[in-house]
Amino acid sequence: MNSRKRIVIVAKKEIIEFIRDWRTIVALVLIPLLLFPLLFIAFPVVMQNEAAELEEKSIQVLIQSNDIDLLLIQEIENQSAIITQVAMPSNLTTLADPGNNTELLRSLEYDAILRIEERNETWYYAILHLSTSEQSNEARNRILDVLFEWEENLTIERIESAGLDVESTLNPLQWDGSISGADVATKGEQAGMLLSLFIPFVLAIWTASAAVQPAIDMTVGERERGTLESLLSLPLSRTELLLGKWLAVVSITAVGVTLQISGLLFGIAYLASDFIDVPSLSFGSIFLLALAVGFYGTMIVALYLALAMRSKSVKEAGSVLTPITLAMILPILLTQFINLDDVEMFWFGIPFVNVLLGLRELLLNRIIIEHVVVWILVSSLVCLLTIRYAAKQFRREDIITTKS
Amino acid sequence: MDPLLRLINVKKSFGDVQAINHVNFEIHRNSVIGLVGGNGAGKTTLLRLMSGVYRPTEGSVQLNNERPVTEMRNVLGVVPESTGLYSKLTAWENIRYHSRLHGIDDQVAWDRTYRFAKLLDIEQSLHRYTEGFSRGMKQKTALLRALAHGPQILLLDEPTGGLDVTSARTVRRLVRKLKDEGGTVIYSTHHLAEAQQVCDRIIIIHNGIVQADGTPEELLNLTNSNTLEEAYVAFTKETARPRTEETETPSRMATLWRRLFTPSMKMEVSEDE
């Protein structure tokens, strides 16, 4: 029997054993598949409900002014506001100075305080509010809406009384035609741009987090359950054993990642098509995307298997791999801030970062040969090194006897 | 007749600890050999050396015409102390997994498994998940798994440990049957009565050294003893040492860290006493 067959036998057994746990199916299939569609459905619904709820609420507004326009008060009242009007307090350095009115807002007696007064034909105003209160923010926004409309009317009135044309005075520079029509990028490319900031993040985090549990279970977990010793006495080399387990973890992770991306694309295509399109990618980009994810998965899984095998217990493996998974956020965040139009070549020489940058470029449907060659070469080398390191851990004699 | 298995000057160390020290013996076909020794004597280490899980620090373990054991694992059937069954697989799936890795056709493995399963009275449970199996059922399944590919040598590490009387008897009966059919079994135990009952030859190992090697009668004669227990005591006068293969030296960092969070346990004697 050849080596490849033995590796496949080990991988098949690991996968069968793994998926027989119903919790795995939930974690591996349902959550990745439904996460984004549910987010696309739930997010707008929750947002709309919350906004509608806020709009229905009446707000308590205290107006402090000695000369406010009655029309303005009426307009604010029309915004479901209950108004109390008092005279402007004295001894204020500016209108924005809260003075001794802070407690009125903190105690939620009023949602906002509007101060307004006219000096030399200019109206000065300030709105005091509590930014940590949703209701106070809502009150501030409603007052601002009324004030801007009132200001516009006042501006038009003054322009007209000066005998000027309102439109050309207010908008001496105007866009001609549709704004989106002037963008030569297709909708698919625009979607690629937006998703290039998002998909690498999802892929990297999901790959890293989905691999943790199977990697621990198939190594130190197997040792703790006492199943490793009989396996090591079989006509199977340790490298074959590692590759079988690696293949299983990679397959499990790949299924999770594929389902999650499918869920995301389904969500975009059918639930959020008003806002964003499915990115348009060439066959070459799709192939290289799969390759990049493959490299990333290979490195992560081999590293996890090695570190888990090194650990003395499942608990120790968990406390080693969890911080590493969280640390993966660092290269991911780093790649978000790199300007792809002017990216230096050295970034593609940094393991993990290079693959994530490659993913961003490919989602923009950009295949820059020099970049691709560098990240493929570097990633291949790192893959070999991580697998070698994992193989070294699997060859250790104490892997069956080390216990916590 | 050429020996089936040969240990030549085998030494095994774990760090500074000598687990096995200059062990030499030969195993011939069609025999049941008992490896007898106390806790930490080196029985499991010796079995792991014979199964190729461990490599000797010095010397060699050779199978069939001087080939290293690591190249000849196909001829071995191993049942470790922990049985090592996968709980989410059925008994047959556990057996099939190993037989496939031995390169055995599923039908051949099934026929062989079913035959021995009937002897062990476990044939009705072959398609059950091993999760709910008793210790005896697990031990029997592990035995079937080790036998499915038709090994030339069966290595059993404490096969009756933790079993009830009936199950232990069934296992012993199977071992005798294997011998009757021409098989070779190496059987580690610390039960002398069991060794006397099952084994043709007994190797007493103590502190990693072979203290005696012979038939039960030879061991009794050598020590002028009436029972094997007396003979065993005569051969192993020194005190046993701790189990070496699990002796681990924590790293310096780990030691320092533990010390930092280990409160002093010194108790002061009260003045009243």
**Total domain count for chain A?**
2
| Chain B nearest C-alpha distance from A36 (Å) | 31
| Chain A nearest C-alpha distance from B192 (Å) | 26
Q: Which site among B55, B86, B143, B244 would you substitute to test the A interface, given the most A Cβ atoms closer than 10 Å to its Cβ? A: B86
Share of chain B above pLDDT 70, in %: 90
Question: Which of A211-228 are b and which e, b meaning 16 or more Cβ less than 10 Å from the residue's Cβ?
Answer: bbbbbbbbbbbbbbeebb
* B82–A226 CB contact, under 8 Å: yes
pLDDT at residue B273, rounded to an integer: 47
Domain around B106: 30-50+76-237
Same domain, A377 and A262: yes
pLDDT at residue B250, rounded to an integer: 65
In a domain, B56, yes or no: no
Model pLDDT for residues A243-297, shown as the tens digit of each residue = 999 999 888 888 888 888 888 888 877 777 776 777 777 888 889 988 988 888 8
Q: Which site among B69, B76, B96, B100 would you substitute to test the A interface, given the most A Cβ atoms closer than 10 Å to its Cβ? A: B100
Rounded distance between C-alpha atoms, residue A112 and residue A52, angstroms: 20
Rounded distance between C-alpha atoms, residue B92 and residue B237, angstroms: 45
In a domain, B19, yes or no: no
Rounded distance between C-alpha atoms, residue B84 and residue B95, angstroms: 11
Same domain, A28 and A61: no
pLDDT at residue A255, rounded to an integer: 86
pLDDT at residue A4, rounded to an integer: 92
pLDDT at residue A404, rounded to an integer: 35
SS (H, E, C) A357-374: HHHHHHHCCCCCHHHHHH
In a domain, B175, yes or no: yes
- Residues of chain B with C-beta less than 8 angstroms from the C-beta of A231: 84
Q: Which residue has the higher pLDDT, B165 or B2?
A: B165
Same domain, A36 and A139: no
Rounded distance between C-alpha atoms, residue B44 and residue B35, angstroms: 9
In a domain, A362, yes or no: yes
Same domain, A62 and A144: yes
At residue B163 the predicted structure's pLDDT band, cuts being 50, 70 and 90, is confident
Q: Identity (one letter) of the amino acid at A234?
A: L
Is the ipTM reported for this complex over the cut 0.95? no
Which of A169, A196, A227 is the endpoint of a domain?
Answer: A169
DSSP 8-state assignment for residue B102: T
pTM check: above 0.90:
no
* B80–A230 CB contact, under 8 Å: yes
Q: What CATH number does the domain containing B192 carry? A: 3.40.50.300
pLDDT at residue A166, rounded to an integer: 93
Quick one: which of B146, B139, B148, B135 has its CA closest to B106?
B148
* A234–B102 CB contact, under 8 Å: yes
Average pLDDT over residues B25-36: 91
| Chain A nearest C-alpha distance from B203 (Å) | 22
pLDDT at residue B243, rounded to an integer: 52
Interchain CB contacts (distance < 8 Å): A and B: 79
Burial (0-12, 13-18, 19+ Cβ within 10 Å), A18: buried
Q: Provide the token pair at A275.
A: 């806002």
In a domain, A108, yes or no: yes
In a domain, A174, yes or no: no
Which of B55, B100, B245 is the closest to A9 by Cβ? Answer: B100
Other CB atoms within a 10 A radius of the CB of residue B87 amount to 15
Is the pLDDT assigned to residue B104 strictly greater than 70? Answer: yes
Rounded distance between C-alpha atoms, residue B57 and residue B59, angstroms: 7
Domain around A139: 54-169
pLDDT at residue A72, rounded to an integer: 92
In a domain, A89, yes or no: yes
Q: What CATH number does the domain containing A152 carry? A: 3.40.190
Q: Provide the token pair at A15.
A: 């996968």
| Chain B nearest C-alpha distance from A18 (Å) | 8
Q: Quick check: A62 and A84 in contact, CB under 8 A?
A: yes
pLDDT at residue B204, rounded to an integer: 92
CA angle A383, A304, A290 (to 5 degrees): 50
In a domain, A109, yes or no: yes
**Total domain count for chain B?**
1
**In which residue ranges of chain A is pLDDT below 50?**
402-404
* B84–A227 CB contact, under 8 Å: yes
At residue B1 the predicted structure's pLDDT band, cuts being 50, 70 and 90, is low
- Residues of chain B with C-beta less than 8 angstroms from the C-beta of A228: 84
pLDDT at residue A285, rounded to an integer: 87
Same domain, A159 and A223: no
List residues of A whose CB lies inside 8 A of any B CB: 1, 6, 9-10, 13, 16-17, 20-21, 225-236, 312, 397-398, 400-403
Query: Largest Cα–Cα distance in chain B?
Result: 78
Rounded distance between C-alpha atoms, residue A226 and residue B84, angstroms: 5
In a domain, A178, yes or no: no
- Residues of chain B with C-beta less than 8 angstroms from the C-beta of A403: 246
Q: Provide the token pair at B135.
A: 């210790």
Highest-pLDDT range among A217-231, B109-123, B158-172: B109-123
Rounded distance between C-alpha atoms, residue B63 and residue B71, angstroms: 9
Which of A169, A204, A224 is the endpoint of a domain?
Answer: A169
| Chain B nearest C-alpha distance from A14 (Å) | 10
pLDDT at residue A396, rounded to an integer: 84
In a domain, A180, yes or no: no
Same domain, A232 and A300: yes
